[in-house]
Structure 1
Amino acid sequence: MTRKVFFVGVGAQRAGTSWMYNCLNKHPEVFMPQKEVHFFDSGYEKGTDWYSNLFETQKAVKAVGEITPDYMSKEVFLERLKRFAPEVKIIVILRHPIERAFSAFNLYKLHGKVKSNTFEEALIKDPHILTQSLYSEQLEWINARFKPEQVLVSFYDDIEIEPLNFMKKVFVFLGIDESFVPPNLTVKRNVSALPEVQNFLKIPVIQSYLLNSFLKKPFIKFKKSKAGKKLKTVILTKSEQSSKIPSLPEKYLYKVAMDIERVSELTGRDLSKWIKKLKVD
């Protein structure tokens, strides 16, 4: 019996991991119990037997795995993964550092995890929002523990330009049928609607009310329907279009620019476009 490939998507957060999960989950040769298991970060006390049992399946698959985009944010999480599965296949997606951080800020604000009114204020109160976008150290942690052939570093930019080609590279990396075309390639990726837009429409309040009322079941049914999904796409698209990343002080921009240069060295990828977006001299 051929041993299944075990893979883990370790990050980055807000970089297309939900979209990749949905594409992989449609592949007939892949089994994923759920997207974010959060074992190596917040659920480690459950034990490795609990984690291993998640991947038991009767399906005839070639690859099993999960995607938790917080795993590469701390060295200890990667060390735990290394001890559990030394031969694991690691998938990384990197997004422009400021865009990723701003997306995270909007998400945290929407869910009440940050109370700051501005992006810059949030970075002062919670530096982790930006440090998660400083990928070079995280890549070095990965490189120190896993062989080059075990790691696939990819970029959010490629999802936007050539989503099918992006997934084909993932399929080849995992040793599964690369001719498979995920039906959800063009489905809107997981973006956070601006809190201001959603709050203006009172979406969080309305949703909370419906989920706690006798209308819960029909509301959930509507969300899963074509009409519900179309409405969500419209709201997210309008919100994304109205989103504009505010300018940041140069102390942040230079720090990010230096990190981008190091990431370029580590990956062999020309990231000059990322630096140009920063508008630093």
Structure 2
Amino acid sequence: MSKLTPDYICIGAARCATTWVWSLFSKYSEVSLIWPKEIHFFNDNFDRGMKWYSSHFKDPNRFIRVEVDGVYFADAAAASSNMKKTCPNVNVFAILRNPFERAIDHLVFNYYRDAQTTDISIENLRSLATKHKDDKYLKGSCYGSLLLEYKKSLSAEQVALFNFEDLQNSPREFAENLLRYVGAGSEYEITDDMLTPSNSARPIRYKFLYKLLRQVKLFSDKNAYCAALISFFTKKIGASLIDKLLGPQDKKDEYPFSINEAFVELFGSDAVQLIENEMEILEREFDFPVPENWKSLTS
């Protein structure tokens, strides 16, 4: 197989609808997607080479080649540098949400998957927040600094930003804008099933079975034949099974604490100023209209 490069890469951010983006693009015959969703080539697996990377494009002869990998956002320095080396003309795009809310949702999402209880408290989340020395939950919301890495390695013109709240408020219009951005979907109807949220923060009913399926999925990422079998399974009965594994979808207003309270308790008041500085970078360097309700925990 010839060495293929992506035309567009969705780089994140984590907990900002990247699974939904991948699902949306998977339904269009014009788009060739990297499969599975996150192979972490441009940060963790770059030494495997472009031939390995190219082998992951599903239907490589399609008109538009797209990758979706939310890890590239937090690991921006390595990922953007490697993109510059191999695909300097690539266009990258990110979906951004309220950065305070994103950090807490990221914590809750991982807590549900690792904890032995579905009870959420600030104290329970604190143990998970301090587990990672690189402050990955806070770092993932440092939008300005991370995006500057892409501007430095590529260019500002190659970086497009979308607002997560636009997806929440008008998913059909958001999907149309995203498809228009990559040059796909002009002759296809956007159906209601394409607009369903994916991968939301939800408790796990059967943790043992869930973890077993996670291990199978990790194995399938490295084995093409197993990956094909998993793909067939997912299309046939996977969605209904996963729905049974998961509990009811949680909403932020059902948490026993406010986002504001949790963020300050878990990350400290200095982190509030840090995130506000990051949003100033967004406005100054990328002309991104930061919503007023993002700008301060007290707004």
Task: Report the TM range for the smaller structure's normalisation.
Answer: 0.7 to 0.9
Task: Specify the SS of the correspondent of 2:197.
Answer: coil
List, as ranges, runs of 4+ consecutive aligned residues in structure 1 with deviation greater than 6 Å.
209-212, 220-223
Equivalent residue for 2:142? 134
Please tell me the residue identity of whatever aligns with 1:193: R
Equivalent residue for 2:125? 119
Instruction: Quote the offset at 1:87 in angstroms.
Output: 0.8
Equivalent residue for 1:191? 200
Instruction: Quote the offset at 1:14 in angstroms.
Output: 0.9
**Matches of 1:80 and 1:155 in 2, distance apart?**
26
Q: How does 1:161-172 map to 2 (within 5 A)?
A: 161-172=169-180
**Matches of 2:78 and 2:214 in 1, distance apart?**
37
Residues 211, 155 of structure 1: CA spacing in aligned structure 2 closer, same or farther, 3 A cutoff? closer
Task: Specify the SS of the correspondent of 1:90.
Answer: strand
Q: Retained in 1: the 8 A contact 2:279–2:290?
A: no
Residues 252, 52 of structure 1: CA spacing in aligned structure 2 closer, same or farther, 3 A cutoff? same
**Matches of 2:108 and 2:60 in 1, distance apart?**
40
Structure 1: gaps (5+ residues) = none
Two-structure CA RMSD over aligned residues (Å): 3.5
Equivalent residue for 1:32? 33
Which of 288, 294, 297 in structure 2 is aligned with 1:268? 288
Instruction: Quote the offset at 1:222 in angstroms.
Output: 12
Residues 168, 210 of structure 1: CA spacing in aligned structure 2 closer, same or farther, 3 A cutoff? closer
- Report the TM-score when normalising by structure 1: 0.79
- Report the TM-score when normalising by structure 2: 0.75
Instruction: Quote the offset at 1:159 in angstroms.
Output: 1.0
Q: Retained in 1: the 8 A contact 2:7–2:65?
A: yes
**Matches of 2:45 and 2:111 in 1, distance apart?**
24
Q: Retained in 1: the 8 A contact 2:282–2:290?
A: no
**Matches of 1:270 and 1:16 in 2, distance apart?**
18
Equivalent residue for 1:224? 237
Which of 44, 52, 55 in structure 1 is aligned with 2:54? 52
Please tell me the residue identity of whatever aligns with 1:119: L
Equivalent residue for 1:20? 21
Q: Retained in 2: the 8 A contact 1:5–1:174?
A: no
Paired-residue identity, %: 19
Q: Retained in 1: the 8 A contact 2:14–2:71?
A: yes
Equivalent residue for 1:252? 271
**Matches of 2:198 and 2:214 in 1, distance apart?**
24
Residues 66, 165 of structure 1: CA spacing in aligned structure 2 closer, same or farther, 3 A cutoff? same
Greater mean alpha carbon deviation, residues 116-125 or residues 88-97: 116-125
1:80-107 per-position Cα deviation (integer Å, ceiling 9, x unaligned) = 0111101112111112112211122123
**Matches of 2:234 and 2:174 in 1, distance apart?**
32
